[in-house]
Amino acid sequence: MSKRVAIVGASGYSGEELVRLLLQHPYAELVAVTSRQSAGQTVGQVFPRFASHPKARALRFTEPNVAALVETADVILLALPHGVAAEYAVPLVEAGKVVIDLSADFRLRSAAVYQEFYGHPHPAPGLLATAVYGMPEVYREAIRNTRLVASPGCYPTSILLPLLPLLRAGLVRPTGIIADSLSGVTGAGRKAEVDYLFCECNESLRAYGVPKHRHLSEIEEQLGLAAGIPVTIQFTPHLVPVNRGIHTTLYLAPTTAFTTAAEAAVIGERIAACYAEAYADEPFVRVLEGKALPDTKNVVGTNHLELAWRLDPRTGRLIVLSAQDNLLKGASGQAVQSLNLICGYPETAGLVP
Amino acid sequence: MSKRVAIVGASGYSGEELVRLLLQHPYAELVAVTSRQSAGQTVGQVFPRFASHPKARALRFTEPNVAALVETADVILLALPHGVAAEYAVPLVEAGKVVIDLSADFRLRSAAVYQEFYGHPHPAPGLLATAVYGMPEVYREAIRNTRLVASPGCYPTSILLPLLPLLRAGLVRPTGIIADSLSGVTGAGRKAEVDYLFCECNESLRAYGVPKHRHLSEIEEQLGLAAGIPVTIQFTPHLVPVNRGIHTTLYLAPTTAFTTAAEAAVIGERIAACYAEAYADEPFVRVLEGKALPDTKNVVGTNHLELAWRLDPRTGRLIVLSAQDNLLKGASGQAVQSLNLICGYPETAGLVP
Amino acid sequence: MSKRVAIVGASGYSGEELVRLLLQHPYAELVAVTSRQSAGQTVGQVFPRFASHPKARALRFTEPNVAALVETADVILLALPHGVAAEYAVPLVEAGKVVIDLSADFRLRSAAVYQEFYGHPHPAPGLLATAVYGMPEVYREAIRNTRLVASPGCYPTSILLPLLPLLRAGLVRPTGIIADSLSGVTGAGRKAEVDYLFCECNESLRAYGVPKHRHLSEIEEQLGLAAGIPVTIQFTPHLVPVNRGIHTTLYLAPTTAFTTAAEAAVIGERIAACYAEAYADEPFVRVLEGKALPDTKNVVGTNHLELAWRLDPRTGRLIVLSAQDNLLKGASGQAVQSLNLICGYPETAGLVP
Amino acid sequence: MSKRVAIVGASGYSGEELVRLLLQHPYAELVAVTSRQSAGQTVGQVFPRFASHPKARALRFTEPNVAALVETADVILLALPHGVAAEYAVPLVEAGKVVIDLSADFRLRSAAVYQEFYGHPHPAPGLLATAVYGMPEVYREAIRNTRLVASPGCYPTSILLPLLPLLRAGLVRPTGIIADSLSGVTGAGRKAEVDYLFCECNESLRAYGVPKHRHLSEIEEQLGLAAGIPVTIQFTPHLVPVNRGIHTTLYLAPTTAFTTAAEAAVIGERIAACYAEAYADEPFVRVLEGKALPDTKNVVGTNHLELAWRLDPRTGRLIVLSAQDNLLKGASGQAVQSLNLICGYPETAGLVP
């Protein structure tokens, strides 16, 4: 039952987390890691924190090579920049392999929207229809049956998981949605740029990508599918000095207006029931109770997203807050969830505790 | 022309900044500092970073005592908890002194709103009518002529300075306003509570006080005065791991709808003109140009607030972002601005560079 | 083969890590957690990061009670303050239970040294002779056969593991040893004290406990046992703004003097051989090769200690550097190693990856 | 009396601090700033935190050009990489200008030692004899009378100021000295390298440059001059996650042995007297009293170095600890002290409060 797994582009932060998860995975077998800059070195040399793991001492990075990947692996995880991933995905899918792509290349169904947000034509529009958006809470069965998973982005996960059940149930309006997000600096990748130096990020709070961030495209497409009509949202990402974690605050309008605590209580019961139906049995989504609010320190290092909500009778709004680890539920952990589904492993294999 | 200044409750973070500003002030003379817990110690012993300053080595903390303050000082700065400040303000104002209160005790005109938000009757409702909200950009002349300044809170300053000119000019609607704020941990004060320990805040992102924070009362009162009608806003504060700094992102609806870049350009000209009129000559408000967005690291340690704005034709919204040092423009620096106005000093004395 | 394990005093940082390790332990069964302040709450309520774990949702904190512990558990882990731990250890050992104590109460063989460093008589001197110092790399067999383990402190572990093999082999002199250590703030515990507030630790570097820290007593006792003569060292701890991790730099004098690179190479071979003999087969000690130096970020979250060494022909000294997670190899992880040994589990159970 | 000052290479962290200090200097006039990468931009554009300062809005960065500097400025501050500084210093000194060089190019008297530590021949050995080491507490008069100041490095300052008076007085032995230092990340400069990314430094503690750091050369030369014989020390720098600040712990052997508290008291009086004589009248060196130990948070943002000392009768050692801001007393602040001396300004001008 053990599948042979390769990671292409494993030298960034998401790649490192994929390596960590697969080194400790009970069923999958990590057989290859590739990276142009690290080729020839062992996994333990590139990532000293794994240096005591026997496989990390034995396995060496290689140059990425499609033919070798076809030979060696059953499942290939792509942790590559947007645009580069498709170059590998196309021949690997054609060769009958399972591909789980962590880039944005196959997250959109529309090649036109891709071009609008990424500024160049889609490199492989023919594959868009076959790719499945790798969010198991939404597309579990489709993921089990595909050979190409487009694993979601970190901001989209932090916004979609709290929002999709409410939209599908018609509990909130699909208009006027605002998502205000805070992200740790691993979200920027392991890039040698002045903006992400310690002293430029420490003791700094700043927004960026205002008002039109690329991730909007996949967020809005998924929201539109849930709402049944096109959805446009306001999204503001902020960079804050933590290594890992995304915190999102959503400002929503319930479809039923309310101005009193009593009216809020009625709506609150529906929201609670909606989330319970969506997530009570989900292993990686946690709806907080009582006075608790999400805190990234409670989810960093895990594949969990936690969320809480509040109704405000003063404004008639619903506030939903979520926290997750951008590298796990927001990237590599969620990709391993998809891998587990495709390979027929328990969905939580290698992800808990 | 030198006025004698005392600081009551000088052992917290705001108090420490007041001490710093007054030790280096070119005109005002710091004559007394009080603190129950630090009485008997010199300023240099309580705040080691000032230990090389001759006055910090000589001046000792005393127990707070109204009679002694009346004797010693012309201007008294109150850096006390809410509720305690009024106990000092009342007799000191009656004794003819100038009082600049950094607490919330006199920030509201309505004793009823005070009771709603603070949970107990106002301790000195008779003084509310005479207190002036200490925001020089709005109430400069009134500050010059009062004997009781209610210096604004940190979150309110970060929200009001970007928002008031737009509301007064009728450029944005007074409804549906959302303020999403991030604050450094000095905002919680120098209190020995587990929630504010290093390891509970570091690598943590979390909202708090959702959905009804006490600061809403003074924010909404001031917004209502600018709009001419009552204003209710949505405000979500977040605690993030920096020492100092507040970043606020405001979501606003221009009174003129727009859906194209061309329409946005027209509205943008009005906004630019509005801000230029309001702030071009203000020494401590900086409207950023070009692609720059506010970053707390550019204002921490200064009395400046910087702001930028973006119109989003996709959503029809105006986004305004601001950054300031919560202890300076958000507290002690702004209080010294008021002190300068009342004493007839240049408004920037001791505050620049 | 599954043993029933209880944790007494589980609400601090070490206690939280013990809970985490035992929730995921493949053999041991966590049956009870006690804490005066958390009694009545579930583990998931006290530690939100475990809230999705079924056992954390079911298991409730109780008041600590010796009789109940005797009834419920086979092995009791004590995560209590120094002095308090002995009150539980004595009756539990008498009742035939296995006790693993994370406090300093039983780490010394000499009650007199205890009194010198802790300022009061030892609370249970009769048990000192039976307690085993819980450092498996040194006392593996004795741990397997004891019922009372005194699990080592975090600083001592970071100093002893690099130093003991060299002293035992006679490669370094037992005199003039200096240990300069940096510790993350979890080392101070979850105590509500102003000194450990975020804003007092962030952007702060400071030494403390200079020159005589309590941990010296157990360090010097263990060094003396290895050297065969009493050993006195210089130890300076520093508090630095990270959550977790201890970095120690040791300054040592090789017993063979050297002034050239060639002479250093000869001594270096002996040191390399000494460390290889001591640690090549140890699962949790990693001797770095090549140019690599220890970095706490490579060990935090793991039970590994990593070390590297350099000979300096300019000064004739040997520098040894180590890094570990103060809460794992420096506390709870090492305690679980002892638990595994006593219970007959694989020593790495629940600790890797 | 106002001198025209230029800063060459002003886009790094030290350069930024020089700009800040000179924008607010009461006497010196900042007339030019140069930087290849920033040429054409205003100071306010390159450093947004100064954007409200009128001069920062007016003054533009230019390409560095010796002829233009000769024309424009009386004093030139060089904030350039090692090796590059000499290219500017030589022609500027020849043109009769005052040069204050913040690089290592002229800190050594011996060209041979330079070559040993920097790996290439000294670029201008003829100037070494005329350069003065810019540590006013040691070379005040020589600085007043030179035209070429070699401003000291940050680590050297943190080691030399605590150590020189003791060595000169013969109170400590010149052998066996150990300096263990912690540095904030601005010490690495504003370089786009992966090692200094936020996520590589945050939650990381690591030593580097073990055992032979370049700064040793200037440290040992200055110590040798004070001791009257060549001095070799052990120096270990560590990188820790703060923006600014250096903390140094020195391990020293008093020339008089001691093993009791009474003997320590006698030696302690001599040390106290030695420091009092050296530093009681120095504006920027603070010897702490009582139980206080240095903490970088008390000196960051100031030009002060603070130090404390402890005698340990257990080991016979003297421990001296110091803290300073690496960019101020460790670099730009100290350079402005020299500028003040050379220009005949009060030494503290622009540096206090």
How is C247-301 classified by DSSP, letter by letter? EEEEEE-BSS---SHHHHHHHHHHHHHHHHHHHTT-TTEEE--TT---BGGGTTT
Do D93 and D159 fall into the same domain? Answer: no
- Residue B254: exposed, middle, or buried by beta-carbon count in 10 A (0-12, 13-18, 19+)? buried
The amino acid present at D5, given as its one-letter code, is V
Do C262 and C202 fall into the same domain? Answer: yes
Q: Give the nearest partner residue to B240 out of A205, A210, A315, using CB atoms.
A: A205
Do D188 and D57 fall into the same domain? Answer: no
> Taking CB atoms and an 8 Å cutoff, what residues of chain D touch A191?
197
Do C82 and C186 fall into the same domain? Answer: no
> Taking CB atoms and an 8 Å cutoff, what residues of chain D touch C319?
210-211, 234, 236
Task: Report yes or no: B3 and B314 within 8 Å, Cβ to Cβ.
Answer: no
Is D203's CB within 8 Å of C244's CB?
yes
Residue A278 has pLDDT above 80, yes or no: yes
> Taking CB atoms and an 8 Å cutoff, what residues of chain C touch B198?
185, 196-198, 200-202, 241, 243
Residue numbers of the domain that contains B66: 4-130
Task: Report yes or no: B82 and B105 within 8 Å, Cβ to Cβ.
Answer: yes
Q: What is the DSSP string of B252-309?
A: E-BSS---SHHHHHHHHHHHHHHHHHHHTT-TTEEE--TT---BGGGTTTSS-EEEEE
Report how far residue D232's alpha carbon sits from residue D177's, in angstroms, rounded to the nearest whole number: 8
Look at residue A350 and tell me if it is in a domain: no
Give the per-residue pLDDT at C353. 65
Do C116 and C179 fall into the same domain? Answer: no
Write out the H or E segment, with its range, that includes residue A149.
Answer: strand A148-150
For the residues A199-228, what does the mean pLDDT come to?
95
Is A211's CB within 8 Å of B323's CB?
no
- Residue A292: exposed, middle, or buried by beta-carbon count in 10 A (0-12, 13-18, 19+)? middle
Report how far residue C225's alpha carbon sits from residue C156's, in angstroms, rounded to the nearest whole number: 14
Report how far residue C92's alpha carbon sits from residue C61's, in angstroms, rounded to the nearest whole number: 19
Q: Give the nearest partner residue to A242 out of B211, B241, B311, using CB atoms.
A: B241
Give the per-residue pLDDT at A214. 86
State which residues of chain B have pLDDT below 50.
Answer: none
Look at residue A53 and tell me if it is in a domain: yes
Residue D213 pLDDT grade (very low, low, confident, very high; cuts 50, 70, 90): confident
Phi, psi of B148 (to 5 degrees): -135, 110
Report the alpha-carbon angle C321-C326-C330, nearest 5. 85
Q: What is the pTM of this model?
A: 0.97
Do A317 and A184 fall into the same domain? Answer: yes
Beta strands in chain C (DSSP E): 4-8, 29-34, 61-62, 75-78, 98-101, 132-133, 148-150, 178-183, 206-207, 234-239, 246-252, 285-287, 305-312, 317-324
State the total domains in chain C: 2
For the residues A189-212, what does the mean pLDDT come to?
95
Look at residue A236 and tell me if it is in a domain: yes
- Which stretches of B128-194 are DSSP H helices? 136-144, 154-168
For the residues A227-244, what does the mean pLDDT come to?
97
> Taking CB atoms and an 8 Å cutoff, what residues of chain A touch B208?
293
Is A48's CB within 8 Å of C304's CB?
no
Look at residue B351 and tell me if it is in a domain: no
Give the per-residue pLDDT at B214. 86
> Taking CB atoms and an 8 Å cutoff, what residues of chain C touch A288?
48, 51
Task: Report yes or no: A172 and A226 within 8 Å, Cβ to Cβ.
Answer: no
Look at residue D335 and tell me if it is in a domain: no
Look at residue C12 and tell me if it is in a domain: yes
Is A196's CB within 8 Å of D194's CB?
no
Phi, psi of B245 (to 5 degrees): 120, 140
Q: Which residue has the tokens 């549906």?
A: B176
Task: Provide the 10 A C-beta neighbour count for residue C172.
Answer: 25
Do B224 and B313 fall into the same domain? Answer: yes
Is C49's CB within 8 Å of A297's CB?
yes
Report the alpha-carbon angle B248-B249-B254, nearest 5. 130
Write out the H or E segment, with its range, that includes residue A248.
Answer: strand A246-252
Task: Report yes or no: A243 and A297 within 8 Å, Cβ to Cβ.
Answer: no
For the residues C39-44, what does the mean pLDDT come to?
97
Q: Quick one: closest CA in B to A233, which residue?
A: B315
Give the per-residue pLDDT at D227. 97
Give the per-residue pLDDT at A353. 65
The closest alpha carbon to A102, from A9, A211, A233, A210, belongs to: A9
Structure tokens of B27? Answer: 């005109």
Write out the H or E segment, with its range, that includes residue D168.
Answer: helix D154-168
D46-83 b/e (C-beta count within 10 Å ≥ 16 → b): bbbbbbbbebbeebbbbebebeebbeebbbbbbbbebe
Report how far residue C149's alpha carbon sits from residue C22's, in angstroms, rounded to the nearest whole number: 17
CATH number for the domain that contains residue A50 = 3.40.50.720
Report how far residue B11's alpha carbon sits from residue B23's, in angstroms, rounded to the nearest whole number: 15
Is C192's CB within 8 Å of B190's CB?
no
CATH number for the domain that contains residue C253 = 3.30.360.10
For the residues A15-41, what does the mean pLDDT come to?
96
Give the per-residue pLDDT at C67. 97
Look at residue B334 and tell me if it is in a domain: no
Residue D254 DSSP one-character state:
B
Residue-averaged pLDDT of chain A: 96
Structure tokens of A349? Answer: 């294999």
Note the pLDDT tens digit of each residue in C240-278. 999 999 999 999 999 999 999 999 999 999 999 999 999
Give the per-residue pLDDT at D1. 66
Report how far residue B3's alpha carbon sits from residue B6's, in angstroms, rounded to the nearest whole number: 10
Residue A351 has pLDDT above 90, yes or no: yes
Do B166 and B300 fall into the same domain? Answer: yes
Q: Give the nearest partner residue to B304 out of D52, D297, D301, using CB atoms.
A: D52
Write out the H or E segment, with its range, that includes residue A270.
Answer: helix A261-279
Residue D353 pLDDT grade (very low, low, confident, very high; cuts 50, 70, 90): low
Do A161 and A272 fall into the same domain? Answer: yes
Is B196's CB within 8 Å of C197's CB?
yes
Do C99 and C170 fall into the same domain? Answer: no
Residue C89 pLDDT grade (very low, low, confident, very high; cuts 50, 70, 90): very high
Residue D298 DSSP one-character state:
G
Give the per-residue pLDDT at B164. 98
**CB pairs below 8 Å between C and D: how many?**
147
Is B52's CB within 8 Å of D284's CB?
yes
Q: Quick one: closest CA in D to A190, which residue?
A: D194
Report how far residue A255's alpha carbon sits from residue C160's, in angstroms, rounded to the nearest whole number: 64
Task: Provide the 10 A C-beta neighbour count for residue B36.
Answer: 11
Do A171 and A310 fall into the same domain? Answer: yes
Residue-averaged pLDDT of chain C: 96
> Taking CB atoms and an 8 Å cutoff, what residues of chain C touch A53?
352-353
Which residues of A belong to the active site? Answer: 154
Is C190's CB within 8 Å of B198's CB?
no
Do C317 and C257 fall into the same domain? Answer: yes
Neighbouring chains to C with at least 3 Cβ pairs closer than 8 Å = A, B, D
Residue A1 has pLDDT above 70, yes or no: no
| A195 Rama class: left (phi>0) / alpha (psi -120 to 50) / beta | alpha
> Rounded to a whole number, what is the distance in Å from the CA of B312 to chain A's nearest CA?
6
Using a pLDDT cut of 70, give the percent of chain A over it: 99
Mutation site for A-interface testing, chosen from C17, C49, C296 by largest number of A Cβ within 10 Å? C49
Look at residue C344 and tell me if it is in a domain: no
**CB pairs below 8 Å between A and D: how many?**
62
